[in-house]
């Protein structure tokens, strides 16, 4: 994966053929070295901090750079070939990891801010086991298959599923590549992930659906219930669950459209539950208890009203 503002030292002469111009750019600080790379002000700071230490991002951090829907996590995930010797002492902690919210294009922290004293506190490096004797290419971010392989071995199953389903939804991973990836994993990692789907459109949707499926509840994703209404999840016959994909809810147009859809569904006998990002990822213990109560009532199995 190529990243704006980052070029390998071996590629710089192709980008800037004139040696005098390269020297001028370096002297002026327009470009500066970061390990075996040259970077500009456009380069993501967290990525540059890794490259300076001879590391490359993987797992959650590389997934964020690919634009995947990225669940929360702690630590900065990185890896290195066997031939790279780590400096002493161990790698320094890096700034808090962030992802770009697809709905707002804003960078948002990838940690639980409710339990973090300072949003700017440094995050420790989580090194993934190396599988190579040397870097396979000059790209600052590993290929998506390697990133997802690392994620599947590192993260809780549902978090790995969120990344896989996001990659499928974005077209960064196809069915054949997914099969190869899962076949290459130990069974304890690969088998639970074989039920990933390609139609999930947010991590909140994936998380809730996996929880329901784990309780043998019939649930379908992205169901077209009305000509102009597609819902995130349809549980049983008549229970619609809509999952907000971001933690900010300040769009009045979106708010009004959501209420229009809810009313249209209610008229046709559907029960609508909306879950926020916070309810799914910050308050899941309480949220899941309430969802369990609703499941026990079995009203989702009732026939739709005429």
Cis peptide before 89 (omega within 30 of 0): yes
pLDDT digits (tens, 9 = 90+) for 218-262: 999 999 999 989 999 999 999 999 998 775 556 788 888 888 998
pLDDT confidence of residue 134? 83
Closest by alpha carbon to 64, among 32, 114, 115, 111? 111
176: left (phi over 0), alpha (psi -120 to 50) or beta: alpha
The least confident of 131-140, 199-208, 231-240, 246-255 is 246-255
Q: Which residue has the tokens 């470009």?
A: 31
Q: What is the pTM for the complete model shown?
A: 0.84
Q: How far apart are CA 306 and CA 288, in angstroms?
A: 31
């Amino acid at each position: 994966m190529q990243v704006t503002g980052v070029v390998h030292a071996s590629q710089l002469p192709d980008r800037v053929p004139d040696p005098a111009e390269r020297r001028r750019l370096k002297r002026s600080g327009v470009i500066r070295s970061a390990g075996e790379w040259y970077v500009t002000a456009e380069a993501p700071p967290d990525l540059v901090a890794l490259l300076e230490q001879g590391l490359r991002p993987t797992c959650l951090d590389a997934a964020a750079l690919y634009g995947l829907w990225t669940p929360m996590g702690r630590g900065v995930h990185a890896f290195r070939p066997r031939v790279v010797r780590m400096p002493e002492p161990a790698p320094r902690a890096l700034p808090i990891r962030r992802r770009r919210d697809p709905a707002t294009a804003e960078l948002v922290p990838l940690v639980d801010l409710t339990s973090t004293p300072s949003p700017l506190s440094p995050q420790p490096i989580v090194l993934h086991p190396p599988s190579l004797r040397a870097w396979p290419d000059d790209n600052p971010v590993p290929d998506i298959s390697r990133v997802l392989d690392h994620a599947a071995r590192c993260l809780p199953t549902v978090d790995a599923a969120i990344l896989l389903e996001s990659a499928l939804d974005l077209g960064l991973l196809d069915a054949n590549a997914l099969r190869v990836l899962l076949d290459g994993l130990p069974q304890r990692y690969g088998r639970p992930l074989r039920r990933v789907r390609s139609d999930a459109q947010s991590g909140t949707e994936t998380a809730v659906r996996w929880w329901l499926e784990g309780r043998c509840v019939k649930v379908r994703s992205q169901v077209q219930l009305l000509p102009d209404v597609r819902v995130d999840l349809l549980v049983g016959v008549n229970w619609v669950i809509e999952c907000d994909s971001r933690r900010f809810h300040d769009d009045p147009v979106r708010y009004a459209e959501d209420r229009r859809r809810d009313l249209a569904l209610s008229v046709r006998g559907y029960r609508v539950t909306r879950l926020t990002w916070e309810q799914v990822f910050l308050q899941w213990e309480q949220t899941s208890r309430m969802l369990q109560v609703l499941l026990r009532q079995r009203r989702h199995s009732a026939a739709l009203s005429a």
